[in-house]
Chains A and B, each alone.
Chain A
Amino acid sequence: MSKLENKLLIDVGSTYFKLCTKDNVQQHFRDFNKDIYDDLTYKCADIIKNYNKENIHICSSANGGLSTLIIGITNSFSLKYATNIAFNSGINIIDTVLFRDIEKTSIPSDLIDVVIVVGGIDSVSNIFDERLFKFLDGLNYSNIVYVGSEKDSAFLKENIQNLSILPNIINEKLHVEEENLKEYLTNLYQADIMGKEDIKHLYNITSNQIFSTPYIVNKTLPMIDSKFKVADPYILIDIGGATTDIHYSKDLVEENMVTENEYDRLVFKKLGVYKSKESLIFAAKNNEFVYELLAHLKVTENIFEESSEKATRILMQLAIFLVLCKVSAYRKAYVNLKLNALNSIVLTGGITKVLKQEEIEDIVTFFYKKILNSQHNPTIVMDNNYDVWTLGMLEK
């Protein structure tokens, strides 16, 4: 904790504020009727006043992040690579359009923060045509970036207003090149935070850049051994109020993606225990094993109607089960993790304050038995003191 001397770390989540000083970590439930800054300074004025702006570091996942639409020419390469980079840049809301189906795709009516157009290695030309421009004409977006074949850059620049052009994310060996797009999206995310009414006032108390929380967590992963007994390969699950993040070792994926990062991130944008409670319950009701799980936990589905501490505990247990289902071969998702090769599951976030280790182990055992028909039992590691977050904040 020596690096914490004189520093105050603040994490603004969708449900809680967390504050970490050299003495302790405390959390405060947010008042949703108040501006984030007003709420924070009202509840934590006594602590904040002890630190100058240079020593206060803030990260946030409360602004919802950028909404992103990716238009690519194949699922296995352009769309997958761009989606992977977007997730690793801390973006939560990602939709994709396959260019060959673009005429059959309904145009989203919501404002899109950033559109990413991608396709082809640099030696390929004439990939995109009028169909793309027609689709974009109907779309409401703030930023657009092209990261495909350089041979098409000039043509697209001529036809798409305010198009940013970055180096191709697909190199000549069909491997992914993530740095340029990652930097662009991270900067856009920062700019978005600065512009959000709710967040920008936080700069009244800090002179440091406000980072997105997933970005900070991702920075921590290579150093996780310094705080926990974690055996690779592992996954880290952060079940929050609005979303659930999974960070996973790449050894768990059979992928054609070759990158320098050891860990990737995946987010389930409507799986949380407070703000996204309704969609979590919806997902639960659509999983045929959930009723068996509820029976195992000795409750009935009436628990979904309750607002009690017990109901929250059950929801958190369900969230663990659903997340594991979503990344297993049982449900075809963006990635399927080789969960039988998994050695550790690290849990962070509010869940570690509510559930006991045995309760989590019980759910994980149930999952392996029912879904994977396996006796495999990865070790459960609890980040009870939010060390994953503080470690990343101090090292960034």
Chain B
Amino acid sequence: MMEILEGSHAVAEAVKRCRPQVIAAYPITPQTHIVEALASMVADCELDADYICVESEFSALSACLGASAAGSRVYSATTSQGLALMFEVCFNVAGMRQPIVMTIANRAMGAPLNIWNDQQDSISLRDAGWMQFYAEDNQEASDLHYIAYKVAEDHDVLLPAMVCFDGFILTHTYEPVDIPTQEEIDAFLPPYNPVNILDAKNPMSLGMYATPDYYMEFRYEIEEAMKRSRKIFAEVGAEFGETFGRDYSGMVEGYRLDDADTAFVAMGSICGTVKDAIDEMREDGKKVGLLKIRSFRPFPSEEVKASLAGVSKVAVLDKNISLGQKGAVALEVKDALYGTGTEVLDYIIALGGRDVRKRDVRAVADLAEKGIGDRFYGLRTEVL
């Protein structure tokens, strides 16, 4: 049913329909509305979950790990400093192959303290063994939760997933969102069927220590599971499309790319602005398009290469920076396009919530046309 919902509530409604049995979360702006909404659903018996009011994000994810290891479907949400506090546990969750789904309401990392949006937080955890999906709008943000659980819990995957959507820009924005019924989601997402769990009737040890004789093999298996998740994502995304009419079979999505000379590459809500700017530029006769990245981990290198085969210039809009190098998305795209001769220009943009308008996207296109890239876009040089 179509409803006008705040992004956070659209996500909470989706999470509710995924029927998590244990929720452990700690409030932090701009994630707060999600966990407050879930707490009310539990309080009103609309959602039959145990809601653990933990004392920190560190304990939130630790409790999720325990709950998942004991056989329950679990949920958490966080952002920025909260995600940083979970760093250690994130690696453990992936290493123990627990299919936890966590929403990231993307926000800048301090210092300086900043509550607004960029994607530095989740990007900084890209190597932890979690799948990372990025949403363009609130419809996608809520839909990706059903898909994330189904992919994460697939026995060929068994990896945790972050569903990332831009703080404030999406979390606090009201949009029409179609929320499937509980019955529809129950049919799409069966109850969690765990593989190895803590159970006194069948004792096993989890999270043991492994010497150099075994450690590498564990890491290899995680990597293999990541690779398998591509196919599962495509299948689950397609199934979702057949059932609900919104197709997510692609880990990337092209917009007016077919005859484009210059392609933007971006993730998250900025894609909407880029699409509008592209429409304007097309009217001016410029052959521009967009490749939206929906899954950053696993990174769809082959799809990126195939989608950008016809373009001569790529302008990546990175809402993050790997300090001392470039933006993280640009590095991935360069890797995917290695050997093709396509020029990849990187623009660090909109850090800490700075607004991006259509004219900024057009300005980036002009810079790219001149071959000027690999820089922060829109720096206020007068305050430097």
Pair from one complex: no
